[in-house]
A and B are shown apart, each in its own frame.
Chain A
C-alpha cells in the first residue's frame, strides 16, 4: 500500500538521517556491556520508547546507580570466572535473578523465593555467585514471577569469552574477527499500561499478544541508532554491526521472548557452531564437527545460538569490485609488468589487482545486465548508487545517503514479517541493517548524514 508504505519507507530514511546527523554509527561490530567478575545491578523502573512514539513503563536491571536498562546490562566474563552479581531492589515488589546454563549458582541474603532468593523492596541486597564454566552465549532473567517480570524487562545477556581470545569456544574452528549480540524480545503494551495504572490484578497472560518486537531492546529503525543514544536512555544497545568483506562475524543470538522467531541473515548463510553455550561437537576435542549452515536460524524461546557469518562475494559471476579491466580499457604503458597476472584464467593479463578475499574466478567479469533508467527505479536509503562494493555512484537528488562507504547493506530480521512492524507501521520491529564494506575500508562507517566523518564511540 503506497500511501502508507511509501511514507513509512521514507520515514525510515528520515528517521535514520536524523539519527546519523546526531551521532556516529558504531565503528564496526563489538559487544557493549560490563566486563569483570563482580557486578552491582539495581532493579528499577523506567520508560522505554518505540519509533512510532510509544512510551511504556518498564522494569530493568541497572548498572549500579545508572538508569534502568531494557535489556539489562550485558555481562561479559571469561571462561572459568567465578562471577558475583549483587542485586539491589528499588522496585515495589520482590525481584531476583536466575542464570540458566551456569554452574554452581548460589544466592545469599534477601528472602527465600520459589526459584531462588529474592531481593525485597528497599531491603538488603541479594548476592548471587556462579561459575562461568563454559564459553558461549547465555541469558539471565528474573526468577520471580517471570511471566510478568521478564515481560516488564528484567532480563539480559551474559557473554562468556573463551580462554582463547578471538574464538567463540575452545576450538579454533570457532575463530572470529568481530562479535555481536542479537537479543530478541517482544512487548505487549497492554501489560505495561496496566502496570502503570496500578492494575496488576488485571494482567491476564492468556491474552498476551505482542505488537512490538525488538532486537537488543529496540525496534527498527531505533536498532540502527548508536549505542547509548541520549534519546533512548533506557535502551542503550545498538544493533547495527558491520564487517569488511572476508571478515568473520560471530553472531550471538538469544531469544528472551516467548514466541519462536525465524532469524534471517540476508547476504549469506551462517555456520552454527554452538547452541545454549555448547560447542556443536560429536565428542570432546572433535571441534565443531556438528556445525550446520543455515540462512534462517530457528530461535526457540530461551535458546541461544552462536553462529559464524562471513561474506566474500564468491560465486556471484561478476566482479563485485568493478574491476572490469579486461574489456575496452587500454592498459598502462608498463603493462604487463611484474605482478600483473591473469587472475581469472581468461587468457588476458589483468592490470587491476585483486582485493583481498576477492574471487579470482570473477575478477574482471562485467556486470551482467543493463540497469534501467533511474526514473524507472525506487532507490533505498542504503543504496550507494553503485552495484559495486566500496564504490559510490550517481543517485538522483535526495536519494541514498546512509551508506557513504559504498558498503553492501543486508536486512537481518525476523522472517515472521508480521514482527517487522511497530504496531501498524511498516517497517520496524525485529529488524536491522547489517553492512559489509570493502577490505581496508576500516570495517566501519563512522559518518554523518552529510557524509562527513566522525569518530566512533
Chain B
C-alpha cells in the first residue's frame, strides 16, 4: 500500500503547494467572446474558494498544478534498439521559460507522466511546446487531449481542427475539473496518427470521493475504514482494492520512428507495430525498475520510468487500470492463475441505469485504442508465486525479431503473515 503511494508520487506529478503563478482574476466583460489574452507562462492560481472540494479536510489545496513539456526524446526497446520518440516530460514546479525549455528539450518520457486527481480537484495543466530538437525542420504545435472527459469544452479538448494548439516556444494552460472516478487516458491530438505513433500517450485516472469518507462509515453493510481505497463510488465496497496499477497498452512501428528521425516520408497506411508494450516497455523490461538506464540521448531524463510489475500480498485485492493507446490494432490480455473481474469500462462503474450490477468475471479482455477497463484481481486463494499478465495475440510476445518479450508483465504474489 505504502509502496504504491510512493510509486504514485514519483510517477504522477502534482504539487498542490506550488501556488504562486499568475493571478487569474481577469476582468471579463459580459458576453465578451474572447477572454483575456496575454503572453502567459505557467498558470497556477491558489485555491481561495474556502471550500474543501476534494474532501481531505483542507480548504486550500484543491487546485492541482502541473507543467508538461511536449517535444522529442529517446527510448530504448527491450531488444536494445534506440527509438526516437515524441512525448511529454514533467516540468512541474518550473516557471521560468528558459529553464523550462532547457529541461524539457529532448527529454520526452514514454508513457507520458501519469496524471491522477482526486475527485473534487481542479487541474491547471500547462503545456509548453519545447520543439523537436532532433527534427529542426519541424515546427509542430501540440495539445493535450483528455480522452474521455465528459461534457468537454472544445477549447480544452485538444483537437487542433476544433480549437487551438500551442506553437513552439509557447505555453497553453488547460483547465479541467475532475469529472468522476475511473480510468481515462491522455494524448496529443495534433496530427494524431503521427504524434501518437511517436509516443505522446499517458495514463490518467481519478480517485473517488468514497476514499475520503469518515472512518466506520457504513456502505450498505460494508464498513469503510480510513485509508480504504476504491475504484469507484460504489456504495457497497465492491470496488475496494489494496494496491492499484495503471497499465497502458501501446506499440511502436520502428520503421515509422526511423523514418521520422531520418526525415523520410512516413508510412501511414501501412504502419505495422513490432514492439508491443505495457507502460512503454517490452518484457522483461516491464518487470525491472532499474533495467532501463537513463539514456545519454535523453537529456539526463529517464525516458521509461514506469514499470508494470504487479506486486501483491496474498489476500490483496489488486486493481488494474488498463487503457490502450496504440494506433494500429486491438490487443487481448489474459492473466494466469486467477480470474479477472471487470468492474468499470471507460471511467464508468459497470452498473446499469437502475443500479443493476454488470460486473463480470473473465479470462480475457480485448481493448482497441481509446478503450479503458478497471479490473480487480482477488488473490485471497492464489498461492504465492509468479503469474503473468500477457497478450494472447501471441505473436506480440516479442520485441521486434527477438522472441519471448513484448506485451507481458509479472504478477508476483507473496505470502501474507
Q: Residues on A close to B: CB < 8 A?
A: 1-6, 8-9, 12-13, 173, 209, 211, 260-262, 264, 266-269, 271, 282, 286-296, 298, 311-318, 320, 322-325, 327-329, 352, 366-383, 385-389, 391-394, 406, 408-411, 415-418, 420-421, 423-427, 433
Contacts and interface: CB of A to CB of B under 8 A. Distances in A.
9 contacts: A5-B190, A294-B371, A369-B124, A373-B39, A378-B165, A387-B35, A394-B33, A418-B327, A418-B328
A377 B167 contact: yes
Top 7 A-B pairs, shortest CB-CB distance: A262-B368, A415-B370, A376-B170, A387-B155, A211-B269, A393-B34, A386-B33
B346 A379 contact: no
Interface in B219-275: 260, 265-271
A351 to B, nearest CB: 9
A415 B369 contact: yes
Contacts of B34: 371, 385-386, 393-394
Given A3-B137, A416-B330, 14 more contacts: A1-B191, A8-B191, A262-B368, A289-B356, A294-B345, A295-B148, A295-B347, A296-B370, A324-B30, A378-B167, A382-B154, A393-B33, A417-B193, A424-B269
A376 to B, nearest CB: 3
A5 B195 CA distance: 10
A6 B162 CA distance: 15
Contacts of A427: 161, 191-193
A415 B268 contact: no
B193 A426 contact: yes
Interface string B348-361: 10101110101000
Nearest to B369: A415
Given A282-B356, A427-B161, A292 B369 contact: no
- Candidate in A296, A312, A418, A425 with the most chain B CB atoms within 10 angstroms: A418
Contacts of A1: 135, 138, 140, 191, 194, 260, 266
Contact of B161 (A3, A323, A376, A411): A411
B175 A410 contact: no
Given A295-B346, A368-B175, A372-B39, A377 B165 contact: yes
A286 B356 CA distance: 11
Given A290-B356, A367-B35, A4 B167 contact: no
Contact of A409 (B161, B167, B268): B161
B147 interface: yes
Given A269-B346, A377-B164, A417 B151 contact: no
Contacts of B171: 372, 376
Contact of B148 (A269, A323, A374, A420): A269
B167 A376 contact: yes
B166 A291 contact: no
A205 to B, nearest CB: 18
A218 B16 CA distance: 48
Interface stretch (B4-12, B20-28, B396-404): B20-28
Interface size class of B (residues with CB under 8 A): 35 or more
A283 to B, nearest CB: 11
Contacts of A287: 354
- Candidate in B36, B154, B265, B366 with the most chain A CB atoms within 10 angstroms: B154
A369 B43 contact: yes
Nearest to B196: A417
Interface in B259-307: 260, 265-271
A387 B43 CA distance: 18
B101 interface: no
Interface string B165-183: 1110111111111010000
Contacts of B35: 367, 370-371, 387
Contacts of B352: 282, 288-292
A328 to B, nearest CB: 5
A389 B157 CA distance: 14
A393 to B, nearest CB: 4
Contact of A317 (B25, B155, B175, B356): B175
Interface in B187-214: 189-194, 196-197
Contacts of B154: 267, 382-383, 387, 408-410
Contact of A268 (B38, B150, B163, B169): B150
Contact of B138 (A2, A266, A374, A377): A2
B180 to A, nearest CB: 8
A426 B194 contact: yes
Contacts of B329: 416
B164 A262 contact: no
A299 to B, nearest CB: 9
Interface string B384-413: 000000000000000000000000000000
Nearest to A411: B159
B414 to A, nearest CB: 35
Contact of A377 (B172, B173, B189): B172
Nearest to A379: B164
B330 to A, nearest CB: 5
A375 B348 CA distance: 39
A391 B172 CA distance: 21
- Candidate in A288, A295, A329, A394 with the most chain B CB atoms within 10 angstroms: A295
A264 B33 CA distance: 29
Contact of A421 (B155, B193, B353): B193
A377 B268 contact: no
B351 to A, nearest CB: 9
A298 B371 contact: yes
B153 A372 contact: no
Given A376-B166, A376-B172, A409-B161, A292 B345 contact: yes
Contacts of A313: 151, 153
B216 interface: no
Nearest to A311: B151
A314 B151 contact: yes
Contacts of B26: 366-367, 370
Nearest to A424: B268
Contacts of A262: 330, 368-371
Contacts of B368: 260-262, 296, 298, 415-416
A426 B194 CA distance: 8
Contacts of A264: 147, 370
Given A369-B24, A416-B329, A409 B162 contact: yes
B300 to A, nearest CB: 27
A328 B350 CA distance: 45
B232 to A, nearest CB: 13
B262 to A, nearest CB: 11
B31 interface: yes
B38 A380 contact: no
Nearest to A368: B175
Contact of A322 (B32, B36, B328, B354): B32
Contact of B27 (A289, A328, A394, A411): A328
A318 B124 CA distance: 13
- Candidate in B30, B38, B152, B265 with the most chain A CB atoms within 10 angstroms: B30
Contacts of A417: 192-193, 196-197, 327, 369
A408 B152 CA distance: 9
A53 to B, nearest CB: 15
A425 B191 CA distance: 10
B160 interface: yes
B268 to A, nearest CB: 4
A408 B366 CA distance: 32
Contacts of A8: 191
A317 B47 CA distance: 14
Contacts of B152: 266-268, 316, 410
A261 B148 CA distance: 17
Given A1-B138, A261-B368, A370 B38 contact: yes
A351 B187 CA distance: 40
Given A369-B43, A376-B39, A415-B368, A290 B358 contact: yes
Contact of B366 (A293, A298, A312): A298
